[in-house]
Amino acid sequence: MVAPSPDAGKPLVILPRPLYPEFAAALDGRFRFVLAADADEGNAAEARAVLVPALTPVSADLVARLPKLEIVVATSTGVDHIDLDACRRRGISVTNAGEVFSPDVADYAVGLVVAVLRRVAAAEAYLRRGRWAADGDYPLATKVSGKRVGIVGLGSIGGLVARRLAAFGCVIAYNSRSPKASAPYKFYPSVRELAAESDVLVLSCALTEETRRMVGREVMEALGKGGVLVNVGRGGLVDEAELVRCLREGVLGGAGLDVYENEPEVPPELWGMDNVVLSDHRAVITPESIQGVVDVVKANLDAFFSGKPLVSQVQL
């Protein structure tokens, strides 16, 4: 007699890519995981759940392969990498990381604002090259306090960015899908109007078909040659080719970017610009936030398989 597999009876979860070690350790023994690429007909016929590490795409084809699929569990806040139309048509639930990443992303956004306005990275590089001793002080950079900051997307992240920068004495305004009655900041109905009244424009909204490339040349011209663009949302919110041109031509004063349109590709023209601070989509990632999203993922999977309400369901 063949002994039953130790995973027999555990809920099956399909993975579009392998789990990160932190997730694998936390979920070990709770579920039976099978990579989508390795799933046979029996796995595909049985699977009711998909767990999506990072921003791995979940295509309509994958959804179609799983006739009993009922839930897609994302480990990110944004879900633009998931074919939501395919999920909507099938009545498949989608969950995300909720607000777990919001404080870390807000902290990072403020860091980018400070770094670009005060030219922190460029001044450090100047010092490291020995130029302070050889050539004197690095040129002065502008202050942060008192700047007019426009925030695109006053959700969980945007609201925290606003509160942090208000503590700097910055004047906050925002653009969102609609005015928020609880927000004590001025609302602008368009991103261009907001940019025209801002020294710094912070992008913290979701990427949708409506917001894709919402920041083009017109918005950058409105922000102006002394203006700074900070993006901690999604790279696709910005017309990258136009951003490069505006920075090169002096139409825009600077940029702090943590996200890009075709990650991990970064426009090489940005590398040598002293008025640009670049990072590798790391605003969300701290040991604390990783543990937080592990907890949310476990809670959503446990709730689903036990028939309880989901913890962070996305409205499709």
Look up 263 and say whether it is catalytic. Answer: yes
Output the six-digit token pair for 19.
């789990």
Question: Could you say which of 81, 119, 234, 242 is catalytic?
Answer: 234
DSSP string computed for 50-119? EEE-TT--B-HHHHHH-TT--EEEESSS--TTB-HHHHHHHT-EEE--TTTTHHHHHHHHHHHHHHHHTT
- E strands, the chain, are 12-15, 32-35, 49-52, 71-74, 93-95, 148-152, 171-175, 186-187, 200-203, 228-231, 254-257, 276-278
Task: Say which amino acid occupies 74.
Answer: A
In the numeric block, the tokens 């569990």 are attached to 73
Q: How far is CA 22 from CA 25, 97, 294, 295, 297, in A?
A: 5, 15, 8, 11, 12
Look up 22 and say whether it is catalytic. Answer: no
Summarize the chain as % helix, strand, coil (round to 5): 35, 15, 45
Look up 234 and say whether it is catalytic. Answer: yes
Question: Could you say which of 22, 124, 263, 265 is catalytic?
Answer: 263
* Calpha distance 69→46 (Å, rounded): 8
Residues known to be catalytic? 234, 263, 281
